[in-house]
Amino acid sequence: MTLEIITSPALAPVRHGFFTRKGGASSGIFQGLNCGPGSSDLASAVTINRARVAEAMGAAPDALVTIDQVHSPDVVTLTEARQDRPTADAMVTATPGILLGILTADCQPVLFADAQAGVVGAAHAGWRGAQAGVLEATLDAMESLGARRSDITAVIGPSISQQAYEVGPEFFESFLDEDPDNSRFFAGGDGDRVQFDLPAYGLHRLRSAGVGAAEWTRHCTYSDPDRFYSFRRTTHRGEADYGRLISTIRL
């Protein structure tokens, strides 16, 4: 099966892609393009999948860099392709040929580009990382490489949507403690539950930080099992593990 790659005109002409699960070598609950080495999938299948992604992006397999994501605000600046998976939740580079890859299964994959300055970035932004400032830290790191904030475009890829993201009162209160205006990112749910709009919160953080342009591709990972992996859907189904989607960008 052919790989399915979602792109955004806003990031053009920089080469990038939000990959769906279609076209991979994995089977069973991982059926498709699982690119997560941290999953319990066969390592050989994950290696094949990652090589297919690199090829689709016009890069060698060893040019693809992913990180050990821990929901932090930490950013790694790359001058060469590393295979040691440094612990961080975002990467930036001004070096052509390095393929930045972010792994997600409901959290926001965010791709950044200042095409004029020749600087790109990629971030993993779940609610915890976004609240901790990973998006702003990525912009700061890109500026340190010569990017201009007003020239940076940021695109949020497939993520869990508000209608699928039910949370409890403690979660809600933590966001109100940060800023009472954050109530706009929540809608009423059943009982004391509320629905959180993660992409809207991500867009708010990006725009408040002064990014030139920001958008969401408007794909929900939870509601489309044929195209996307979802940690929350896997949890609700009682499955043992889940695949990881990959989102990539390169100069």
CB atoms under 10 Å from CB of 221, counted, come to 28
For the chain, the domain total comes to 1
Q: Tell the burial category of 56 from Cβ atoms under 10 Å away from its Cβ (0-12, 13-18, 19+).
A: middle
Query: What percent of the chain clears pLDDT 90, i.e. is strictly above it?
Result: 98
**153 in any annotated domain:** yes
Look at residue 189 and tell me whether its pLDDT is greater than 90: no
pLDDT band for 46, please (50, 70, 90 cuts): very high
**107 in any annotated domain:** yes
Q: How far is CA 157 from CA 47, 93, 97, 247, in A?
A: 23, 20, 22, 8
The overall pTM is greater than 0.85: yes
- For 132-175, the pLDDT digits (tens) are 999 999 999 999 999 999 999 999 999 999 999 999 999 999 99
Look at residue 1 and tell me whether its pLDDT is greater than 70: no
pLDDT (average), residues 245-249:
98
* The pLDDT value given to residue 190: 84
Q: What is the CATH number of the domain that holds 134?
A: 3.60.140.10
Structure tokens at 129: 């990382």
**170 in any annotated domain:** no
- For 104-114, the pLDDT digits (tens) are 999 999 999 99
What are the beta bridge partners of residue 90? 75, 123
> Are the CB atoms for 157 and 103 separated by under 8 Å?
no
**216 in any annotated domain:** yes
The residue range of the domain holding 245 is 5-161+197-250
**175 in any annotated domain:** no
Q: Tell the burial category of 140 from Cβ atoms under 10 Å away from its Cβ (0-12, 13-18, 19+).
A: middle
